[in-house]
Amino acid sequence: MLKHWIDAAAAHRGDAPYLEDAAGAGSLTFAGLQRSTQAWARCLDGAGIPPGARVAIRLPEPLAYACALTAILGAGRIVVPLDPAAPAPALATVLDVARPVAVVGDGDRATGLPVLRTPAESGGAPPAPPPAGGIFLCTSGTTGAPKGVLLRDGQLAHVAACVAIHHRLTPADRGYCCLPLFHVNAEVVGLLATLAARAALVLDRRFSRRGFWELIEEQEITWINAVPAIISILATEPPAVRPPARVRFVRSASAPLPPSALRRFEGAFGIPVIETYGMTEAASMITANPLDGPRKPGSAGRPAAAEVRIVPGPGPGQVPCPPGTVGRVQISGRGVITGYAAGGPAGAIGPDGWLDTGDLGHVDSDGYLFLAGRSDDVINRGGEKIYPREIEDFLLAQPGVRSAAVVGAHDEVLGERPVAYVVPAGPARPGQLADELRAACEAALPRPQRPAAFHLVRELPVGATGKVARARLRELASAQPEASTRG
């Protein structure tokens, strides 16, 4: 399917740009992608790496990374995207799970694998159409246990097409993506949905608030692929220039977006924020708020690439919960895996094919999904379940708060108690802000939801896609006394 997309795009829009570097370091046309795919097929055949074999990519430059990933995928191999900045232990974990046979980029010392260099384009008849390829991703999620997820060509194409249709991408669109290319979001929502629409995608090395809107104007961007951290940062400072009117929407994914941040951003810029929900096991997108019609702050939207149901607990034979009842989020569909390639929690996929995401949430009467958090993030305070996101959303709506996370800390009597980690929005006296937040919680939150301590920090620990590293915060909470502040 993806090889067909490459050939069709080259036939209809050969000289049009597909990928561009935000810094002007290069670009790739659809015809260039087709030639690169053919060159990689010859290179891999010549190296004795058959279709279906796993080939890792570890390149520092996003344009080179994206070109190799898309072309090798089109050449019928299984791509194993690696974080080029990963430390040796993390890299070794991924390699042990994925077991690629070669690597494109840094390989000799870092991976111990044979190194493949980007092949030069050559003439002659194109190689025979290869079997469908795929992407192999290693994810630990919030459990820390490595899981191997193999996404086949058909799954990737299905979800990428759903993204392109939902977001109404056309050849006139120019997307912007500064998200890591070793993550499923940038791969499917960025690279493959753009290919499906025969549009263009501008790749950036990293997000920078300085000069951001000037770059968006210069590159004639029509939509932005972002994460909540980026949206929150942009919403805290008015731009020096008015954002270009051609920007149709900003897409938010990879972590929950606080309603307060969404409202601040839309109020400041007048650009719709489309909050979505996805996961690696579903080839990225599961639900999304509509482009037109009601967008509900705090909701991940309606099913857009998979079916969703809420059940009371894990295991097969569950009766779906009625609207408004919090339960476990389960998904099914063409883009969802039917089994893990390596590792994976026992019983995560039932005999009926529904995958238990490990997330908790509810669906309202209009079919919108609201997430309450991860099942293993729920705080058990004396037998009462406390959902951290409810407290976090409240804290984020308070003056002087830029970001916040709530985790459970050990309590000798109650078992656990909620503690809050807060990043101030600007200069503030730590004790004063902590006192103000404590007073606000006492006035508005039920007693079990009131944090037992407020730790003011410069930054929250986050992963590559902006998700808060809650395991790290839980470690800190268990080691810290119930102080009100921390530098």
pLDDT of residue 231: 93
pTM: 0.89
Same domain, 388 and 243: no
Q: Is residue 285 part of a domain?
A: no
DSSP per residue over 208-230, as a string?
-STTHHHHHHHTT-SEEEE-HHH
The number of C-alpha atoms within 13 Å of 310 and in the hemisphere containing its C-beta is: 22
Q: Is 341 contained in some domain?
A: no
> Does residue 290 sit in helix, strand or coil?
coil
- ∠ at Cα 340 (278, 51), nearest 5°? 100
Domain boundary among 199, 222, 249: 249
Is 405 a domain residue? yes
Structure-token match 């060509």, residue found: 153
Domain that holds residue 414: 378-479
Task: Please state, rounded to an integer, the average pLDDT across all residues of the chain.
Answer: 90
266 in any annotated domain:
no
311 domain-assigned: no
- Spatial neighbors of 53 by CB under 8 A, at least 6 apart, are 44, 77, 78, 101
Task: Give the residue carrying structure tokens 């993550």.
Answer: 183
Provide the pLDDT for residue 242. Answer: 80
Q: What is the DSSP letter of 347?
A: T
pLDDT digits (tens, 9 = 90+) for 401-436: 989 999 999 888 888 999 999 999 877 676 789 999
* Structural domain includes residue 359: no
Residue 272 lies in a domain: no
pLDDT 10s digits, 21-72: 999 999 999 999 999 999 999 999 999 999 999 999 999 999 999 999 999 9
Tens of pLDDT, residues 134-192: 999 998 654 456 899 999 999 999 999 999 999 999 999 999 999 999 999 999 999 99
Tell me the C-alpha to C-alpha distance, in Å, between residue 134 and each of 10, 164, 187, 203, 345. Answer: 21, 19, 11, 22, 22
For residues 244 and 383, membership in a common domain is answered with no
**Residue 102 covered by a domain:** yes
| Same structural domain, 61 and 210 | yes
- For the stretch 265-278, pLDDT in tens is 999 999 999 999 99
Which CATH number covers residue 151? 3.40.50.12780
8 Å CB contact between 103 and 155: no
Sorting pLDDT into bands at 50, 70 and 90, what band is 123?
A: low
Q: 221, 249, 277: which is the final residue of a domain?
A: 249
Q: Decide if pLDDT at 487 tops 60.
A: no
Q: How would residue 313 be classed by pLDDT, with cut points 50, 70 and 90?
A: confident
- CATH code of the domain in which 424 resides: 3.30.300.30
Assess whether pLDDT exceeds 50 at residue 484.
Answer: no
Q: Which pLDDT belongs to residue 307? A: 97
Q: How many domains does the chain have?
A: 2
Q: Which of 231, 249, 267 is the last residue of a domain?
A: 249
Least confident range from 288-292, 406-410, 479-483: namely 479-483
Pairwise pLDDT comparison (444 vs 429), residue with the higher score: 444
Contacts of residue 306, Cβ cutoff 8 Å, sequence gap at least 6: 282, 285, 286, 287, 331, 332, 333, 334, 335, 336
90 pLDDT band, cuts 50/70/90, is confident
